[in-house]
Amino acid sequence: MGKTTISKILSDELDGKHIELTLYAMENGLIIRDDPERDTKIVDMDALQTAIEKEMKQTEKPLIIDGHYSHELLEKDQVNLVIVLRKAPWALHEVLQNRLYSYEKIWENIDAEIMGVIAGEALEEFPVEKLYEADTTDKKPEETVEEIMGVIKGITPRGIEPIDWITYPETLRVLVNRTCTLS
């Protein structure tokens, strides 16, 4: 993965253990198959859940679980805090292009970000007092970690303040520049 992620920095700050889910699943043989159409891996979620629960039992350190499906793995009583990282669609578009994602994968991610899919799913799974939504747009990872540490320390209130990207003119510009395709 090479880059320093917010989750890794947070893990270091808390003297915790960082698990990037897809990498962990690949390293532990938990990939069911590749999905070439969506350019992703399909993970055995039951096996991954069992493995993560085992990791939790084997460490006293805080466990920082990193991945867009992490909120689907554990029960409410197993989780102290779910952080949903958000990024403005126009900034996300640039990041995903730089990662050389396919056109379809870029737009799948941008659509999900505009609609707040992960935040919505987290709200369905966990009580609001176990959630925090952080806008990472135009922030260095260390700034976001500082914000999250404020939440952990009780300085910043927990909760989801819905980020409505559709109200930003920049989002409209990204959408207008989207190529129409008929399938």
Structure-token pair, residue 161? 């303040």
Say yes or no: 166 and 88 in one domain.
yes
Say yes or no: 109 and 171 in one domain.
yes
- Please check whether residue 135 lies inside any domain of the structure: yes
39 falls in which pLDDT band (50, 70, 90)?
Answer: confident
Total H helices, total E strands in the chain: 8, 6
User: Mean pLDDT in the chain?
Assistant: 91
Instruction: Using the CB atoms, write b or e for 131-165: b if 16+ within 10 Å.
Output: bbbbbbbeeebeebbebbeebbeeeeebebeebeb
Q: Average pLDDT in the 30-35 region?
A: 92
- Please check whether residue 183 lies inside any domain of the structure: no
Say yes or no: 40 and 97 in one domain.
no
Say yes or no: 152 and 127 in one domain.
yes
Distance CA 28, CA 9 (A): 23
Say yes or no: 59 and 116 in one domain.
no
The single-letter DSSP state of residue 5 is P
- Note down the domain range covering 131: 80-178
Distance CA 87, CA 96 (A): 11
Q: Are 63 and 16 in contact (CB under 8 A)?
A: yes
* Domain edge (last residue) among 73, 95, 130: 73
Classify residue 88 as exposed, middle or buried by CB count within 10 Å of its CB (0-12, 13-18, 19+): buried
How many domains, in total, are found in the chain?
A: 2
Say yes or no: 68 and 102 in one domain.
no
pTM for the whole structure: 0.88
Say yes or no: 87 and 164 in one domain.
yes
For the domain that residue 55 is a member of, what is the CATH number? 3.40.50.300
Q: Average pLDDT in the 95-117 region?
A: 92
